[in-house]
Chain A
Amino acid sequence: MSAVETRNLTKIYENRHIALNGVNLAVEPGSVVGLLGPNGAGKTTLIRLILGLHRPTAGWVEVLGRTMTPNASALRGRVGYLPTTPRLPPNMTPITYLDFVGQLFGLPAELRRPRLAALIRAVDLLGASSQRIAGLSTGMITRLGIAASLLNDPEILVWDEPTHGLDPEARRFTIDLMKKLARERTLILSSHAINDVDEVCDHAIVLNEGQLIFHGTIAELKGRMRRNHYEIQLDGKPRAIEALRVTLEKLSTVHSAKSSGQRIELILADGKDVAAPLAEVMMTVSESGLGLAGVRSLGQQTEEAFLELVESDQARGFSRATERKAA
């Protein structure tokens, strides 16, 4: 049984906007999934369909083996949701809000009260626990949202942009918390911060223009990238760096070379082995007399892989539909 499974999931708003188009995916229990995609890709729509806040135009969503609907309260009681910059009742205090959420989950008072107190302490809101939510900062509201998403001790956590608008300290706190939580439950994390996904997740789902364009492990996502994309950082005069770039571009093992300030970005010629071409590049650098400050593989970066995936999907454009039809 999958933690979350969708089949042919489609959402069209008011017959005008196709937000999601035939998405098929399965999230295995215990996996930590990063939901990636540019703005308007359909990430939030997918999350709202998973939570039963929206109804699919076609297809279905199953959570823990049962169909999710707006009235599936017991099923939603097994999911913890953190929205992007949560909009919470402004007149409540963190304590009254968490107590209210606990009641919505049907938690008895003897379980609810100690748990909410522990969560308020854990998210460091003890000092603000009697303040009205309207007076809390974005970071505090996000932390309150985190506490609310954990109140029912959920099997699945769905967090939408949890680090959005947070200062570096709060962001680090959230990432560390996600890593800790990911050890014991299924986590679906939607984020624009690909570094966060790279740090926390083991699987990725990539959406673009409402379509699922990738679903697999982070390693597979990185593996889709060219492995022959490198950047060398140099120490020397610009004219000497430009001369080196010209020399490198003439090498048969180098496909292209672009210079930018103190760096040269190289794409090696296609081939299974990159060690020999790289050795030849290093020898050329050494002969140029320039200092080598560093070498970085761009091909292994999740962000690069994601961007390439989205770009290639957009470039394919129309053929996508015909492929789908043929399949």
Chain B
Amino acid sequence: MPYWAIFTTDLSGLVRGWVLRAWLVLSGLLALVVLLDHSSLTPAGHPPANGVITALLHPVDTSAGAAHTLGELLKSYVIIWTTFVVVLTGGAITSELPTVADAVLSRGISRWQYFFGKWTARLVAVLGVYLLVVIPTSALIWLNAGRASVSGDVAPADPTASIELASAPAELRPLGSLDFAGCGFAVVEVAALLSLVVTCGVAFSASFEGTMLSIAVAWVVVYGTGLSLSLLGLARVSPAAFLDRLPALLGGDFAASVQCWNLGAIIGLTLSIAALSSVQFARRDV
């Protein structure tokens, strides 16, 4: 029950707060832009647009395929909305430090329960907003892709067209079409990356005294990791490399074992950071 009390109180506080609401509205608006962009695209076979920034500056880019469009939406969560995630999570514990000893930790609750209550509440909030926007948007892009294929050169003209198209071997599908399993992997992997960012934010929040410092350090670490991996010659495992591969993954050009390994590595890293951070928090004076 102590864990549940922390979880529900924190989650309801987040839902009532402006940061989560603003993020939901802004990411919803961006998804709408992406969707409008996609609804006006040409059927298939065109080269992809240049990326998130281009998509923002030129939202109605008719050259993008469904895989590229959904890829752009997913990229926005890793590149742009990560800042919101850091802000949401970097103050999870530091913002309560003035009251946490008197009001919470002096009662019948362990440090583990408090830490995991906070961590899971932030995870649910972030993944909730992400899935709330991404799942309907993906579904609409999927349906639109099906209609586009029906009116195009290669697809059969019946309602199951998009499904048949998706289940066809990747090399037989037009560029930009979507693969169901690939979409599943992409959405889950981005969710895993967001979970990693949430965990980093809460971990720094459990380690520092000030909210601003915690957010700043988390932001530098999260964005600096990709750059550091590139500088160390490990660009292949960087988030940027994952984002570059997204359209191919969404189009069905992937090996399931590699994706499972990637997912396992991200989840393993996330759980390790959470475990180490909770141990560190349990040893801290409040």
State which of B2, B96, B105 has its C-beta within 8 Å of the C-beta of A106.
Answer: B2
**Interface residues of chain B: helix, strand, loop or mixed (majority):** helix
Contacts of B284 in A (CB 8 A): 70
Confirm or deny: A164 has a beta carbon within 8 angstroms of a beta carbon on chain B. Answer: no
Q: Is the CB of B104 within 8 A of A104?
A: yes
What distance in Å separates the Cβ of A67 from its nearest Cβ neighbour in chain B? 14
Q: Is the CB of A104 within 8 A of B285?
A: no
Q: Is the CB of B99 within 8 A of A71?
A: no
- Chain B 88-115 interface mask (CB, 8 Å, partner A; 1/0): 0000000010110111111111111100
State which of B6, B13, B101 has its C-beta within 8 Å of the C-beta of A53.
Answer: B101
Confirm or deny: B271 has a beta carbon within 8 angstroms of a beta carbon on chain A. Answer: no
State which of A13, A53, A100 has its C-beta within 8 Å of the C-beta of B9.
Answer: A100
Total residue contacts A-B, CB cutoff 8 A: 84
- Chain A: number of interface residues, binned into ranges: 20 to 34
Confirm or deny: A290 has a beta carbon within 8 angstroms of a beta carbon on chain B. Answer: no
What distance in Å separates the Cβ of B38 from its nearest Cβ neighbour in chain A? 41
Question: Which of A73-81, A197-205, A237-245, A310-318 lines the interface with chain B?
Answer: A73-81
Q: Is the CB of B111 within 8 A of A70?
A: yes
Q: A77 CA to B109 CA in the complex, in Å? A: 8
What distance in Å separates the Cβ of B57 from its nearest Cβ neighbour in chain A? 40
Q: Is the CB of B5 within 8 A of A104?
A: yes
Confirm or deny: A97 has a beta carbon within 8 angstroms of a beta carbon on chain B. Answer: yes
Confirm or deny: B220 has a beta carbon within 8 angstroms of a beta carbon on chain A. Answer: no
Confirm or deny: A55 has a beta carbon within 8 angstroms of a beta carbon on chain B. Answer: yes
What distance in Å separates the Cβ of A78 from its nearest Cβ neighbour in chain B? 8
What distance in Å separates the Cβ of B285 from its nearest Cβ neighbour in chain A? 4
- Chain A 61-86 interface mask (CB, 8 Å, partner B; 1/0): 00000000011111011000101001
Interface-centre pick from B2, B108, B284 (highest chain A CB count, 10 A): B108
State which of B2, B9, B283 has its C-beta within 8 Å of the C-beta of A70.
Answer: B283
Q: A70-B110, A76-B108 are in contact. Are A53 and B282 (CB under 8 A)?
A: no
Contacts of A104 in B (CB 8 A): 1-2, 5-6, 104, 107-109
State which of A53, A91, A97, A107 has its C-beta within 8 Å of the C-beta of B286.
Answer: A53
Q: Is the CB of A71 within 8 A of B2?
A: no
Contacts of A86 in B (CB 8 A): 102-103
Contacts of A54 in B (CB 8 A): 285-286
What distance in Å separates the Cβ of B114 from its nearest Cβ neighbour in chain A? 9
- Chain A 226-262 interface mask (CB, 8 Å, partner B; 1/0): 0000000000000000000000000000000000000
Could you list some 24 contacts between A and B, CB below 8 A? A13-B285, A54-B286, A55-B285, A71-B110, A71-B282, A73-B108, A73-B113, A76-B109, A81-B106, A81-B107, A83-B106, A87-B102, A89-B99, A91-B13, A100-B9, A101-B103, A103-B2, A104-B109, A106-B2, A107-B1, A145-B102, A148-B103, A148-B107, A152-B108
Interface of B toward A, CB cutoff 8 Å:
1-2, 4-6, 9, 13, 96, 98-99, 101-113, 282-286
